[in-house]
Amino acid sequence: MTQWSGYFGLILQGALVTIELTLMGSVLALIMAFLAGLGRLSRFFAIRALATAYIEFFRGTSIFVQLFWAYFVLPFIGISLTPLQAGVLALGLNVGAYAAEVVRGAIQSIGREQYEACIAVNLGRWQAMRHVILPQALLVMLPTFGNNAIELLKATAVVSLISLTDLTFQAQVVRSQTGNTMVPFTTILIIYFALALIISWGVRSLERRMARGLDGVRV
């Protein structure tokens, strides 16, 4: 029993790394989503082209290849990253590309009457976007953002391939040392599920709060 308590301690340490990866990767993904999503709606062709290239590249290539490229290839051009930094970079850029289309679609879903009302009250393009359009679009984005965050959480398992001690890596360590596959992998299965439930609950709570305050935003 004492031996297994030590192994469960290893798995909990891996859970902390997974949570750290998920939080940091989500922040980067959110930043990239808004930059690229708004970029796709820009009036300037160069900005639209750059945003589109980013989205298509990171959606069209494997997260495994992106992770390996960040960790093993970037050092050849003088950029050395720790496993954690490489994991956050690859996960954030990958999920951000998917979330960027969520941003674009949500903004375009807002009715034309809202844009016309902004013009009627003499709001500039970015004033209208900041004070009227984005608050309404955020409510549309939130459910899919929650799905993206859960996908990012599950994708953190790939970082075990570059020896980052996340949940999956620690489960493999326990399996190799005990010869038991069922216990460590059932344990991390439950932990992943619990973390996903926490994300879902957090997103739903935020969605309800935003919905209550939305009426004061519409013009």
Question: Rounded mean pLDDT of 179-193?
Answer: 92
The fraction of the chain above a pLDDT of 70, given in percent, is: 87
As a whole number of angstroms, the distance between CA 122 and CA 124 comes to: 6
Q: Can you give the pLDDT at residue 132?
A: 72
Q: Can you give the pLDDT at residue 107?
A: 84
Q: Identify the CA nearest to 91 among candidates 143, 160, 138.
A: 160
Cβ neighbour number for residue 207 with a 10 Å cutoff = 17
- 3 state DSSP class of 43: coil
- Tens-place pLDDT, residues 50-78: 999 999 999 999 999 999 999 999 999 99
Q: Report CA torsion sign: 89, 67, 144, 149.
A: negative
Q: Residue 219 pLDDT more than 70?
A: no
As a whole number of angstroms, the distance between CA 148 and CA 54 comes to: 17
The fraction of the chain above a pLDDT of 90, given in percent, is: 63
The overall pTM is greater than 0.85 = yes
Contacts of 200 (CB under 8 A, 6+ apart): 146, 150
**Burial (CB count <10 Å: 0-12, 13-18, 19+), residue 173:** middle
Question: Rounded mean pLDDT of 167-192?
Answer: 92
**Buried b vs exposed e over 128-142: b needs ≥16 C-beta within 10 Å?**
bbeebbbbbbbbbbb
Question: Rounded mean pLDDT of 177-191?
Answer: 91
Q: Can you give the pLDDT at residue 194?
A: 96
Q: Can you give the pLDDT at residue 179?
A: 87
- Tens-place pLDDT, residues 128-166: 676 677 778 888 888 999 999 999 999 999 999 998 889
Q: Which has the minimum average pLDDT: 30-39, 62-71, 120-129, 171-180?
A: 120-129
Place of tokens 């619990």: 194
Which domains, ranges and CATH numbers included, belong to the chain? Answer: 9-211 (1.10.3720.10)
Query: With left for phi above 0 and alpha for psi between -120 and 50, is residue 209 left, alpha or beta?
Result: alpha
CA angle 208, 32, 197 (to 5 degrees): 40
Q: Can you give the pLDDT at residue 27?
A: 96
DSSP code for 61: S
Going by pLDDT thresholds of 50, 70 and 90, the confidence category of residue 43 is: confident
- Tens-place pLDDT, residues 77-112: 999 999 999 999 999 999 999 999 999 998 888 777
Q: Can you give the pLDDT at residue 4?
A: 66
DSSP code for 34: H
Q: Residue 1 pLDDT more than 60?
A: no
